[in-house]
A and B are shown apart, each in its own frame.
Chain A
Amino acid sequence: MKPVQRVYLREVVAGLALTARHFFANLGRHLVHALGRKKSRGAVTIQYPEERRPYAPRLRSLHRLVRREDGSPRCVACMMCETVCPAHCIYIVAGEHPNPEIEKVCEEFTIDLGKCVFCGYCVEACPEDAIRMDTGILEFSSYSRGGMIYTREMLLALEPAGPDGTPRSPVPIPADRRP
């Protein structure tokens, strides 16, 4: 260690100069912002619930079931997603589709989000492009395990996220959260 560094005082002054420079530069930017120039920002903070950072298009968020043109789910209950799921969180009950051209449809399609690991394998495995993870919804929570179980109707009601990844459908509120 150099003798200058042993004295420590010069390094302290250099450090203080650095932090003081940040302080005054940011304070100036905050003031300019408060005076009306909204482009000037004194902090890198994103004030989360009101302000969101744009999500990447590949982000894996809450699942949704894709609908056909007649509104029935595209899912043909082939059980590929249920089989590939490493967390065993998908439960499908197959049934007859009213259209004779389509062999099967899921009568129940339940995802236990308390178990889901958001690996996206279900989306990869699906031969019908019937399940996607592009809703942009990340803020689903519940006070109970039961509240984390999402049924077919809840998943069918979701819309894909808009540009920048902003969710377009409301966050599904589990039953135990209703006031």
Chain B
Amino acid sequence: MTDVGIAFGRVLFVMLFVLNLGGLLTWVERKQSAIMQDRIGANRASILGLRLWGLFHPLADAIKMLTKEEFYPARADRVLFSLAPFVSVFCALVAFASIPFGDTLPIAGREVPLQALTFNVGLLYVFAMLSLGVYGVMMAGWSSANNYALLGGQRAAALMITAEVAIGASIVGVVMVYGSLNLMDIVRGQGALLGGWLPMWGIVTQPLAFVLFLTAGIAATKRIPFDMPEGESEIIGYFVEYSGMKFGLFVMADLLETVVIAGMTVSLFLGGWQVPYLGHDGFAFPWGAAVPLSPLLVALIQVAAFMLKVVVMIWFLMLIRWTLPRFRYDQAMRLGWIGLFPLSIANIVLTGGALLLWGPR
């Protein structure tokens, strides 16, 4: 019974974290872009005269989306048409499950890993789910009986293959360094200190892979600068025939994927829940100072550190999204296939050589 309760709590925590963050991202996106562009941003939605910097706008959006007409094109495949947004959102939502948000926490005599899904191949699971998400997009494109939607769906498929290959090749270096496909083990490995003082985060050991992964990861979210599946100025994209909350779900899926990519970047390259020099029983600085802390406090600090890192990473992804213009379709393909992919392979070779020379025997 306790086991079920603990498992339920873990899943609920991750679910609420991802869902709330995803919902909040519509507000973050509006406000951040506004501040970047010397504007104020949406601030008119109010409840009883209370505006809270536009924080009610996601709520207002949801009410508007839910009360809008649900439109079905006359020749659409109604089953696939209705199913598509849910596939997209489902895959984006479950992808976060195997990302650890903290170390183990002692509850009722058990060491509970702070991770919704303890999984030996958690790394592969996340990317499997991310690439499954493109099925929703393709279904939407196919079932709409609209040429623009079909074109958008095909572009999404092409983009996803390009991005997935680059992602898969770029994380091989990380897997080689930390020697595991289990995300918890990878994050634990990043707690080691290089030369006694530098935390062995992925960005230190795999700087090239970090850039490649981030680029390909942004492509996997289908957002600007890689939003050719939408491309509102050329084809409106795979959701051209959608209205109401179904359209909202597609937007939501993009934002959830942003959260997942941010979480993955943090877990693989920015130390996950690791805080530099924070061990199981407190801080132990390389110059000898030590601050003892209780295990519960350490766990809380680590969870908070993970959330902070994810939020900062999301901020960075939003910064990219509101800075760069869209790649043309062929440019994105060229970048993926003759830019990112060969570089990822080179990174694998370099990592292998470095491990042979200096790595553990």
Tell me the A residues contacting B by CB distance below 8 Å: 9, 12, 15-16, 18-20, 22-23, 26-27, 30, 42-45, 47
Contact = CB atoms under 8 A, between A and B. Distances in A.
Nearest to A30: B35
Contact of B40 (A20, A23, A27, A43): A43
Interface stretch (B170-178, B191-199, B261-269, B318-326): B318-326
19 contacts: A12-B320, A12-B324, A19-B319, A19-B323, A22-B35, A22-B38, A23-B32, A23-B35, A23-B36, A23-B319, A26-B35, A42-B35, A42-B40, A43-B38, A44-B38, A44-B39, A45-B39, A45-B40, A47-B40
Contacts of A26: 35-36, 38
B37 interface: yes
Nearest to B316: A16
Contacts of B52: none
B38 A19 contact: no
Contacts of B37: 22
Which interface class (under 10, 10 to 19, 20 to 34, 35 or more) fits B? Answer: 10 to 19
B39 A15 contact: no
Nearest to B32: A23
A113 B40 CA distance: 34
Contacts of B34: 43
B354 interface: no
B300 interface: no
B211 interface: yes
B6 to A, nearest CB: 40
Q: Which 9 residue pairs across A and B have the least CB separation, nearest first?
A: A45-B40, A19-B323, A43-B40, A23-B36, A26-B35, A15-B323, A19-B36, A44-B38, A22-B36
Contacts of B35: 22-23, 26-27, 30, 42-43
